[in-house]
Amino acid sequence: MPRAGLSPDAVVDAAIGIVDAGGPDALTLAAVAKAAGVATPSLYKHVRNLAELRDLVTRRVMEELTVRLQRAAMGRSGDDAMRAVMRAYRSYVVDHPSRYAAMSQQPLTDPRMADTGERLLEVVLAVLRGYDLDGPDLIHAARCLRSAVHGFAVLEAAGGFGLPEDLETSYDLLVRMVVGGLRAVPRPGPHEPPIG
């Protein structure tokens, strides 16, 4: 019998704690079993293997990020929503760098992750639609937005900005650049080729 109170969610909680403390490479079944106070074989009642546990961690992280972005965007639109979402995304990565690093960066190509990844993507797309983007333009804008925020936040979390200038000022500039760029996205005509 599994320990009273042990459940798949409790196993993921323990896994998240290990990732937060030691990074993604610290996640092992033995470490989770120790944190949960059970023998390693007892975990197999809740997860099949380490790969499945990593998938569950990814799902949890994407769910947390989705909720944070939804809350940030709620009641806002246009530039205000974009600024709020960009700040919320950055704050999640900086607050939880190890769990963010443990998250799959290709969830839409994995059938086990696609539904969770699509919910996260839909929050971003909803905000971008406020710029009258649709079709391929919407996806291109989402990629650019993700690249900008992910890149800045991951570098910040890793201590990658060593110069003394204020990070908040730098990020505010990035937000203004993205918002300004979204407002200036050229809309090609029906027979006009894309740039590049």
Query: Looking at 20-34, 46-60, 177-191, which range is the least confident one?
Result: 177-191
Query: Does residue 190 carry a pLDDT above 60?
Result: no
- The proportion of the chain whose per-residue pLDDT surpasses 70, expressed as a percent, equals 92
Mean pLDDT of 37-64: 92
If you search the block for the tokens 């993205």, which residue do you land on? 178
pLDDT tier for residue 1 given thresholds of 50, 70 and 90: very low
User: What's the pLDDT at 4?
Assistant: 53
Pull the structure tokens for residue 191.
Answer: 């027979």
pLDDT tier for residue 192 given thresholds of 50, 70 and 90: low
CA distance 50 to 53: 5
List the Cα angle 57/4/65 in 5-degree steps: 20
Return the CATH number of the domain spanning residue range 1-47. 1.10.10.60
DSSP H stretches of helix in the chain: 8-22, 29-36, 50-73, 78-95, 97-102, 114-128, 135-157, 167-183
CA distances from 172 to 83, 175, 182 (A): 9, 5, 15
- Please give the single-letter amino acid code of residue 162: G
Query: Looking at 15-29, 32-46, 126-140, 177-191, which range is the least confident one?
Result: 177-191
Does 12 or 6 have the greater pLDDT score?
Answer: 12
**What mean pLDDT value characterizes the chain?**
91
pLDDT tier for residue 105 given thresholds of 50, 70 and 90: confident
Pull the structure tokens for residue 141.
Answer: 């804008």
- In CATH terms, is domain 58-183 a member of 1.10.357.10? yes
Sign of the Cα pseudo-torsion (69, 72, 73, 74, in order): positive
Q: Cα Rg for the chain, rounded, in angstroms? A: 20
Cβ 143 vs Cβ 82: under 8 Å: no
pLDDT in tens, 111-156: 888 899 999 999 999 999 999 999 999 999 999 999 999 999 999 9
Q: Where are the domains of the chain?
A: 1-47, 58-183
Nearest Cα to Cα of residue 85 among 125, 131, 134:
125
Pull the structure tokens for residue 173.
Answer: 């500039």
Alpha-carbon torsion, ordered 156, 92, 21, 13, to 10 deg = -160
